[in-house]
Amino acid sequence: MPTISDQLAQSLSRLTARYAQSPIPAFLAWWGGELRACLPLRWRRRFRVSERSILLRLEGDELIALAQREGASEELGRLPATPPESLPAALNELLDEDSREARRVLLIPSRAVLRRTLQLPVAALENLSSVLGFELDRQTPFRADQVYYDSRVLPHEPDARQTSVQLALITRQRLAEELAGIDGLASTLSAVDADEAGGGRAGFNFLPPEQRARRNHTFGWLMAGLAVATLFFLWLGMNRIIDNRAEAIVRLQAEVDAQRDEARAVTRLRDELDTAAAGANFLAVEKFRQPSMLLLLEDLTRLLPDDTFLERLSVTRGELTLAGQSSQAPKLVELLQDSKTFRSPSLSGPIQPDSRSGKDRFNIAAQFGAQSEDGDAPDAGR
């Protein structure tokens, strides 16, 4: 019966296979490269430590150390392989501080590794480790408990139903001999791989998971913590800014409301003052606008002929009415046109002769008072 760890391993293997087939890895690689290009050179070198690997290869009595970065390898130096217990200290002296933190990979000769290329359904990639475990007896002369094996999926079309998988294995005895040849360095290894013709890695890892060195992620965790702290303080700062803006808006709104109330009060007082002033000045203005009655009498005395006398003179609501007798009644309207105190004189009735006086009776109406802007005389009374 499979254990919980086996089930978790199978689930992780399926997720890893699906992730490897998706376009996400290529996108993340491109995105990471673009982000690194924006950093200063010193920081770029610092972040490239994780991409750097130290390759170790035994050749006779020498241990060759190579630095691999972005597919290119560079020889760092050669160390005597004997005694094996002196290798850890000698390698640390050879490497600089950044290289000591890089992943270490032991390369074993290609002739010690058996490879097979298998054609498998794409669905088998979700549980590739188990499928390869069943295929070992059929494809190789070894059982699963005699070897350490790994695989890599070769490039294939996204919609293909079959895919090529390269299986590589090494006997457990041979791997133990290789690890014994470097003694104390075995505990610092992250992988054991086959040596390619160009001096690089084949892309496998035969080292059991429980024997792989745990990398020190202090720097990564520190950067992640700083990033989280930065986001947290940025969030606090943004909230503080928003709160300050909200408080400023409330304060300004209160000031605007207070000023609006003051403006309304000032407007109300101004209206009351204008109303009071208009009421107080009304009589004076009206009196000023009305011509003097003395001027009116003087004007009539000057314009009317000597043989004319008035029987009635009235001023009502801006209208002047004259009634009297005259020998020249038909000419009175023309004579009164030159008046400075009233305007538009006209006969308001027929001219009638008076048998007793021998004169004609007349009734004349005219506009009295100052003329308004629309040409009408305002109301006036005396």
- Counting residues of the chain whose pLDDT is more than 90, the rounded percentage is 13
Where would I find the H helices in the chain? 4-21, 24-37, 41-47, 87-94, 97-100, 128-139, 172-180, 218-289, 293-303, 332-335
Residue 276 has pLDDT above 60, yes or no: yes
Q: What is the pLDDT of residues 115-167, one digit of tens each?
A: 888 888 877 777 777 788 888 878 888 888 889 988 888 887 777 788 888 88
Residue 47: the pLDDT is 59
The residues, any chain, with a CB within 8 Å of residue 117's CB and separated by 6 or more, are 154, 164, 165, 166, 167
Q: Which CATH architecture has domain 4-216?
A: 2-Layer Sandwich (3.30)
Full DSSP string of 122-185 = GGGGGGHHHHHHHHHHHHSSS-GGGEEEEEEEPP--TT-SEEEEEEEEEEHHHHHHHHHTTGGG
Q: CA end-to-end span of the chain, whole Å? A: 126
Residue 382: the pLDDT is 39
Q: What is the pLDDT of residues 313-346, one digit of tens each?
A: 888 877 888 898 888 888 888 888 888 888 888 8
Residue 381: the pLDDT is 39
pTM here is 0.49
Hey, where are the domains in the chain?
4-216, 217-289, 293-368
Give me the CATH code for the 293-368 domain, please: 3.30.1360
